[in-house]
């Protein structure tokens, strides 16, 4: 059949603009700060030969990355990716597959998502997990809306130690509902969240917590569960570094009802910020309130194991206005990559990598303390930590940047009341010898 493309007419565009209450298409982008918008079309050169194109792309890549040593953290950190992961994830049958609407034609894709969900559920210590979350921030916002639906309550409590970008995303999600402004819980002197304000919050739907939090501090998840359950709400625990749960108890084992997080560490390259991979798991009793998709395992009429997309009627493209979420993509290839990574590393390998990350971070922390830095928080940390810098460290930081070493992130950009405090992070990609070399650059 010959299908023709008919673009919108000017009358069509005017009708749609009138319906949303703006005068022009440019008005749709007014929420984006002018400094972030392009004033003119990009200067894209003409066609290049294959080798000229490779040379240009190589030069662009070297200008922005190369052999930098980064000790920052803040929710995105480098990790080694076993060669088996891109080798399998890059197979043609995986990179060309599409959303598995027809199970009889998509058994491989469905099984991959099913295995991903199984591994995420085990990681979180909960009974069920989904696919579809875009990144950790999206997963957090969806977890908040899910808790509101499950409890039929509106009020939310959010730790002020959750990643600031994630909290901004949540605020964007909640903006249309003016009565759903979350209550921010302050920090205690030890770097953990103060749960005492929960006692004064009327009928909370959920407490949203991150552990380890933005400061790298391991939260009292069991205490949080007790506090919010006493108030009749749910506990949603997030994480930006899934490797933490190779040495820490999973959120579900400590009383969390929902877990959410960022899965970029699981075989995904940082790639200048994306793509990320949102993870979400929950107790089985809340399965029908979960956004996105679940793949279920069944048997056919011949008794053979098979997989099918279940409960997808919660999505916007099927249930429309009654959907629990407008997420309609299952981020399938990123989920597949994470599943391959977790399966390849295995439980023992995951725990070993987790211990290496913890040990290197503690080694680095102690080395910086010997150089005159001071610990800010007394609670245990994982992978990331905050230190008060000695006088003159800003100059040291600038000097190290000239040597392609990025040492720490000033917290004052996110927490103005914390001048002079810096967030550091380290992973298994930094050998101890490299850490020692950086420490020698830091003059006491």
Instruction: Report the 10 Å Cβ neighbour count for 353.
Output: 18
61-70, 104-113, 345-354 — which one is most confidently predicted on average?
A: 345-354
Which ranges in the chain are annotated with CATH 3.40.640.10? 84-342
Task: Give the predicted TM-score (pTM) of the model.
Answer: 0.87
Average pLDDT score, the chain: 90
pLDDT confidence band for 5 (50 / 70 / 90): low
Mean pLDDT of 428-433: 92
Q: How far apart are CA 68 and CA 162, in angstroms?
A: 27
pLDDT confidence band for 399 (50 / 70 / 90): very high
Which ranges in the chain are annotated with CATH 3.90.1150.10? 69-80+347-441
Tens of pLDDT along 279-309?
Answer: 999 999 999 999 888 899 999 889 999 998 8
* pLDDT higher than 60, residue 3: no
Which range (3-12, 30-39, 418-427) has the least confidence? Answer: 3-12
Q: How far apart are CA 346 and CA 224, in angstroms?
A: 30
Joined tokens for residue 257: 């009802």
Q: How far apart are CA 353 and CA 243, in angstroms?
A: 7
Secondary structure (H, E, C), 55-112: HHHHHHHHHHCCCCEEECCCCCCCCCCCCHHHHHHCCHHHHCCCCCCCHHHCHHHHHH
Mean pLDDT of 353-368: 96
* Residue 66: per-residue pLDDT: 60
Mean pLDDT of 312-319: 67
Measured at the CA of 160, the angle between CA 157 and CA 164, to 5 degrees, comes to: 115
* pLDDT higher than 80, residue 212: yes
Which range (4-18, 61-75, 226-240) has the least confidence? Answer: 61-75
| CATH number for domain 84-342, candidates 3.40.630.10, 3.40.640.10, 3.10.20.30, 3.90.1200.10 | 3.40.640.10
Q: How far apart are CA 111 and CA 308, in angstroms?
A: 9
pLDDT confidence band for 139 (50 / 70 / 90): very high
* Residue 4: per-residue pLDDT: 62
Q: How far apart are CA 73 and CA 164, in angstroms?
A: 13
* Residue 1: per-residue pLDDT: 45
Please provide the DSSP assignment of 130-169 as one string. Answer: -B---SHHHHHHHHHHHHHHHHT--EEEEETTS-HHHHHH
Tokens 């999206």 belong to residue: 138
* pLDDT higher than 80, residue 177: no
* Residue 401 φ/ψ region, left for φ over 0, alpha for ψ in the -120 to 50 degree band, beta for the rest: alpha
Q: Which residues contact 167 (CB under 8 A, 6 or more apart)?
A: 158, 160
Mean pLDDT of 202-206: 94
* Residue 415: per-residue pLDDT: 96
Q: Is 380 helix (H, G, I), strand (E, B) or coil?
A: coil
CATH class of the region 69-80+347-441: alpha beta
Residues 242, 244, 249, 252, Cα dihedral to 10°? -20
Answer yes or no: are the C-beta atoms of 254 and 222 closer than 8 Å. yes
């Amino acid at each position: 059949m010959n299908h023709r493309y008919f673009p919108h007419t000017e009358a069509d565009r005017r009708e749609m603009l009138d319906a949303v209450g703006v005068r022009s298409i440019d008005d749709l982008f007014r929420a984006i700060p002018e400094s972030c918008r392009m004033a003119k079309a990009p200067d894209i050169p003409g066609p290049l030969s294959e080798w000229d194109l490779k040379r240009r792309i190589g030069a662009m890549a070297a200008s922005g990355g190369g052999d930098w040593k980064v000790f920052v953290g803040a929710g995105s950190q480098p990790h080694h990716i076993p060669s088996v992961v891109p080798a399998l994830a890059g197979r043609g049958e995986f990179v060309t597959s599409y959303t598995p609407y027809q199970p009889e034609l998509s058994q491989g894709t469905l099984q991959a998502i099913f295995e991903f969900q199984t591994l995420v559920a085990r990681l979180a210590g909960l009974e069920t997990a989904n696919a579809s979350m875009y990144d950790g921030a999206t997963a957090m916002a969806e977890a908040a809306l899910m808790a509101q639906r499950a409890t039929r309550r509106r009020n939310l409590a959010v730790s002020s130690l959750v990643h600031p970008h994630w909290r901004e995303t949540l605020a964007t999600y909640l903006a249309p509902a003016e009565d759903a402004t979350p209550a921010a819980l302050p920090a205690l002197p030890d770097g953990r969240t103060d749960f005492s304000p929960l006692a004064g919050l009327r009928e909370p739907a959920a407490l949203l917590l991150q552990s380890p939090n933005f400061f790298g501090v391991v939260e009292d998840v069991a205490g949080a569960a007790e506090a919010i359950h006493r108030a009749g709400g749910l506990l949603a625990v997030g994480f930006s570094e899934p490797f933490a749960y190779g040495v820490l108890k999973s959120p579900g084992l400590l009383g969390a009802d929902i877990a959410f997080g960022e899965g970029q560490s699981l075989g995904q390259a940082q790639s200048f910020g994306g793509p990320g991979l949102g993870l979400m798991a929950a107790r089985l009793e809340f399965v029908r309130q979960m956004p996105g998709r679940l793949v279920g395992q069944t048997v056919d009429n011949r008794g053979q194991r098979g997989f099918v997309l279940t409960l997808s009627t919660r999505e916007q493209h099927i249930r429309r206005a009654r959907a629990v979420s407008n997420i309609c993509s299952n981020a399938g290839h990123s989920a597949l990559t994470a599943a391959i990574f977790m399966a390849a590393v295995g439980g023992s390998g995951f725990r070993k990598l987790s211990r290496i990350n913890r040990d290197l971070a503690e080694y680095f922390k102690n080395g910086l303390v010997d150089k005159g830095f001071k610990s800010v928080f007394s609670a245990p940390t994982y992978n990331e930590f905050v230190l008060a810098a000695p006088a003159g460290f800003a100059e040291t930081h600038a000097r190290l940047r000239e040597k392609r070493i990025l040492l720490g992130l000033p917290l004052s950009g996110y927490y103005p009341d914390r001048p002079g405090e810096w967030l550091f992070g380290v992973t298994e990609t930094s050998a101890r010898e490299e850490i020692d070399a950086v420490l020698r650059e830091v003059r006491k």
